[in-house]
Amino acid sequence: MANNKKTQRLQFSRKFTKEGISPYDQFEYDYRTSVIKNPTGEVVFEMNNVEVPKQWSQIATDILAQKYFRKAGVPQPDGSLGRETSVKQVAHRMANCWRVWGERYGYFETEKDAQIFYEELAYSILNQSCVPNSPQWFNTGLHESYGITGKPQGHYYVDANDGVLKKSANAYERPQPHACFILSVNDDLVNDGGIMDLWIREARIFKYGSGVGTNFSQIRGSGEKLSGGGTSSGLMSFLKIGDRSAGAIKSGGTTRRAAKMVCLDLDHPEVLEFINWKVEEEKKVAALVAAGYDNSYEGEAYATVAGQNSNNSLRIPNEFFKVLEEDGDWELKSRTDGRVMKKVPAREVWNKIAYAAWRCADPGTQYDTTINEWHTCPKGGRINASNPCSEYMFLDNTACNLASINLRKFFNEETNTIDVEGIEYISRLWTVVLEISVLMAQFPSKEVAQLSYDYRTLGLGFANLGTILMLSGIAYDSEKARAIAGAVTAIMTGTTYKTSAEMASFLGPFAKYKENASDMLRVMHNHRAAAYDAEEAYEELSIKPIGLKAKYCPEYLLTAATKAWDDAVQLGEKYGYRNAQTTVIAPTGTIGLVMDCDTTGVEPDFALVKFKKLSGGGYFKIINGAVPPALKNLGYAQNEIDAIIKYAVGAASFEGAPFINPQTLSEKGFTAEEINKLNSAAKSAFEIGFLFNKFTLGEPCLQRLGFNETAYNDWNFSLLEALGFSDDEIDAANNYVC
């Protein structure tokens, strides 16, 4: 790596905003009421006069109001302290905070560049083009904008001025903007870094809205000897404590759940118990539900059993699959001396994993060998674990802050093309945001503060991939879709590493770059080889990835993808990289909703018909917004599209329905008023059978029709069947109405 540093710092041009016009004035706004009810209809949250751009849906408004608005300590016009009420306040406090820290530490070439940076960020948040992970919404800018400090909570940071690790003076002067943490745990009960200390470190993370993953493979298995005599109670007994601790904490001080990942190596002596943990707990839930307990996820049945507050994953090395193919035995080894404690047929282990995944979706599988062969910093140690959603894979005791691009904002529906320049621009802009976020952050332990400062990992990703594929009329499970997804990801990731190298040119590379330079450049070369689909160019990989297939990829995307990686490698070889990692693709479960994404992360759409929430409460059924243009792109005529949409959504009325319609219902004894109630309720119905009950029609109606209280209160009671309609008739009417 060359030592000569470039003197020019970051410069920005405008893409979304206009000189002299506030980004906040580029939108029209609504004042809305946000009401959120639980399944029983009880109002659990209500707020009036929530200011959002008109383009925002009611669901995006609700997420903002309930989850992301600061609820206390915000100066009000009358001089009192209250809560945030406008998205403008939130966009300003975050974008301003990033600008302030960036200016303070010399990221921008000029003050004008800093102002453009701020305005472009504010616009991209308001326009739902790209937003940061939830902890930024919770914590970032509270000090700069409102003077909020808060009592210190035991956090640490590394001061960039002198490189010294220091304890935070308060809770918000340095925010906790990172969503993803990986913590280590030692085989020790009460000392620092041990089991009980882990629950404290996790609590600091959960409190500020973040999630954590840990590999527990160092913990002795049940029956292993203790230094003071006796034997260990085993890993599973301690995992149950951590599960309860996480369940007691609402993340970020809201109703967002604590996010926790438990990883375990496949050779741990208690791995079979770990695989079956949630399977057995689900059986207990079934028994409790059968006994009459509430079966909702927040209900008493699930609250009673263990294991419901974490995702579980197994770390599986390539060696296991070799043993599996040979139909051999897999060895489970002691944690203290490495001796073989038990041998289990590999086929039995694999079958248990598959059954558990089918039965309760846990544990997941993480392929340890492949993960570590793509590790940019192996000199710092192995990758042992991930964050709760498994997108962030890096060293123990590190953290990653995320942001996600809404791909639909960079897709032209008229030409079916992706705005490559827009993707490159937004990727560079937000890579800088995430790097500045490392600079300003505080962390839940000394170790995490130091290593996060030393490696500076970032996590830019995207959402709405499934939507742009549907808009194009391209099947999600197709070679063409995979090529487009690969190209978009290559453009984004190549651009972020290029930006990281650009920042390294004047700020210097991350602290541990020098000792990992050859490994990191090898990984960068492998990424470039994948972009070119140059199989012979891969270096030190046991399993070669599937490259970007030119046969299926639009030429303009292929050209941009290969150029992005040429630039990233060329600049990185010259200056190094500011960040050890720059991209992850998160599930975007909450921020995807605040961006009004039809699809989250890399996922396909889950339904063609959805329910749209109304500002005054209630829902109505709509076709997925991507369906009509997709049908047009597939060559359907407008009248055919209209018919398909009507069939998919349903008529939302019994008028004209086969077998069950106003005429037949009237003959069965329904009044005109009751039929009107059914028509009104049909707009939000999944099945018509759900409408014919005492809640929609009232008990007097059912009693007049000849049914007593015992009959219609029976959960197995079907009014339509009782009235003499056959299953075929009910199905036909249901297909028409719903």
Give the catalytic positions in this structure.
Answer: 387, 389, 391
Which two structure tokens, joined as six digits, stand for 360?
């309760």
DSSP letter at 443 equals B
Read off φ and ψ for residue 333, nearest 5 degrees.
Answer: -120, 145
- What is d(CA 211, CA 208) in angstroms, rounded to the nearest whole number? 9
Distances (CA, A) of 453 to 509, 523, 584, 695: 11, 21, 18, 58
β-strands 250-251, 211-215 pairing: unpaired
Residue pair 485/602 in contact (Cβ under 8 Å)? The answer is yes
The residue written with tokens 């018919």 in the block is: 643
Residue 446: its H or E element: helix 446-455
Cα–Cα distances in angstroms (integers) from residue 10 to residues 74, 135, 495, 502, 632, in the given order = 32, 26, 15, 8, 43
CB atoms closer than 10 angstroms to residue 115: 16
Token look-up 């630039």 returns 567
Q: Are 671 and 680 in contact (CB under 8 A)?
A: no
Find, among 310, 321, 289, the residue nearest to 360 by Cα: 310
Which residue type sits at 633? N
How far, in Å, CA of 64 to CA of 695, rounded? Answer: 32
Contact 450, 511 (CB under 8 A): no
Rounded (10°) CA dihedral 609, 615, 618, 622? -20
Q: Is the dihedral of CA 654, 658, 659, 662 positive or negative?
A: positive
Are 70 and 175 within 8 A, CB to CB? no
Provide the strand spans (E) within 115-258: 130-132, 156-159, 164-167, 180-183, 211-215, 250-251, 256-257
Write out the two tokens for 97: 């905070």
Angle at 60 between CA 59 and CA 64, to 5 degrees: 115
Name the pairing type of β-strands 29-37 and 43-53: antiparallel
Of residues 111, 133, 108, 129, the one with CA closest to residue 120: 129
Residue corresponding to tokens 């890993």: 235
> Which of 205, 66, 67, 70 is CA-nearest to residue 147?
70
Sequence-distant (6+) residues with CB within 8 A of 696 are 677, 678, 681
